[in-house]
Amino acid sequence: MGRGFRERERRGPPSPHNGAPARLLAFDITTGRVAHAISLRAASTPHSYMDDIRFHGDTIFVTDAGDPALVVVNLSTGAQRRVLAHDRSTTDDRPMYAEGRMLIAHGRQVRIHADQLEVSPDGQKLYFQPSSGPMWVVPTTALENPTLSAADLSHAVTLFHDTPTTGGTAIDGDGNLYVSDVNRLSILRITPQGKTTTLIHDRRLVWADAMWIDSHGMLWIPAVQLDRTATFQPDGVSRLHLPVAIYTMDLHLKPVR
């Protein structure tokens, strides 16, 4: 079986032929108007599903969860590059589990490629992973160097932690990562040295996603119940329990600012 076939199998479904490419929008929060709009057409493929974004100086990092890759956007020049395309670090190559059940959609194992990412507080590292885990780390200088070959960039990526199926992540000002374990309904805390502890286990944390630490040191946890939606149910019937909730934990964390 050739590499081309395997890569086609790993991609998500194609976007509509007449669909517009993903855009990054920046809003003026005082007026609610769009202040900046960046089309990601130059970095997109027909199978792209642009997901999470993080910032480092004049650089925006974006994960492509549909056609595995990272996208590096230079705000100063407008240049866009797809990097680590179909690399082992961006590709979901193992089963995903949520609430004790393997995720299946349309009769096939679910694949959510490069998804979560976090920039270290000192700006020197980017942590990233497919939703299935594991988590990888790479120097931001390597990602931001357009002259670095694809092979050399891949060699600069190292395994950081064997994370479980994950809905969302956050990072505090001390460099500790917060990773949701959607199979065990838990939030893990992983130190910069890779030591892991369970911060909380609670049956209400169904597919904790898009976590955030606010300026008061509070951890915000949306529990979006993604695995209970109709797409991931064998009979196509949603098991979502409304209302969908957002929980907070007052941990007095140091935010990244």
> Using one digit for the tens of pLDDT, what is the confidence trace for 177-191?
999 999 999 999 999
CATH number reported for the structural domain that contains residue 141 in this entry: 2.120.10.30
Is 4 inside a domain boundary? no
pLDDT tens digits, 18-37? 668 899 999 999 999 999 89
- Bridge partners for 139 per DSSP: 125
Range of the domain at 71: 22-250
Is 1 inside a domain boundary? no
Structure tokens at 189: 């805390």
User: Does residue 7 register a pLDDT over 90?
Assistant: no
Predicted pLDDT of residue 4: 47
User: Does residue 90 register a pLDDT over 70?
Assistant: yes
Is 91 inside a domain boundary? yes
Q: What is the rounded distance in angstroms from the CA atom of residue 243 to the CA atom of residue 194?
A: 35
Mean pLDDT for the stretch of residues 46-57? 96
Is 5 inside a domain boundary? no
Predicted pLDDT of residue 5: 38
Is 2 inside a domain boundary? no
Predicted pLDDT of residue 139: 98
Q: What is the rounded distance in angstroms from the CA atom of residue 206 to the CA atom of residue 98?
A: 8
Across all residues in the chain, what is the average pLDDT? Answer: 93
Is 180 inside a domain boundary? yes
CB 207 within 8 A of CB 226: yes
Predicted pLDDT of residue 15: 64
Is 12 inside a domain boundary? no
pLDDT tens digits, 210-233? 999 999 999 999 999 999 999 999
pLDDT bracket for residue 234 (50, 70, 90): confident
- Bridge partners for 117 per DSSP: 128
Is 11 inside a domain boundary? no
pLDDT greater at residue 140 or residue 78: 140
Predicted pLDDT of residue 2: 45
DSSP code of residue 34: E
Q: What is the number of domains present in the chain? A: 1
Predicted pLDDT of residue 13: 64
Q: Give the 3-state secondary structure of residue 19.
A: coil
User: Does residue 17 register a pLDDT over 70?
Assistant: no
Structure tokens at 68: 């595995």
pLDDT tens digits, 102-159? 999 989 999 999 999 999 999 999 999 999 999 999 999 999 999 999 999 999 999 9
Q: Give the 3-state secondary structure of residue 182.
A: coil
Q: What is the rounded distance in angstroms from the CA atom of residue 243 to the CA atom of residue 257?
A: 32
Predicted pLDDT of residue 6: 47
How many C-beta neighbours within 10 Å does residue 227 have?
23
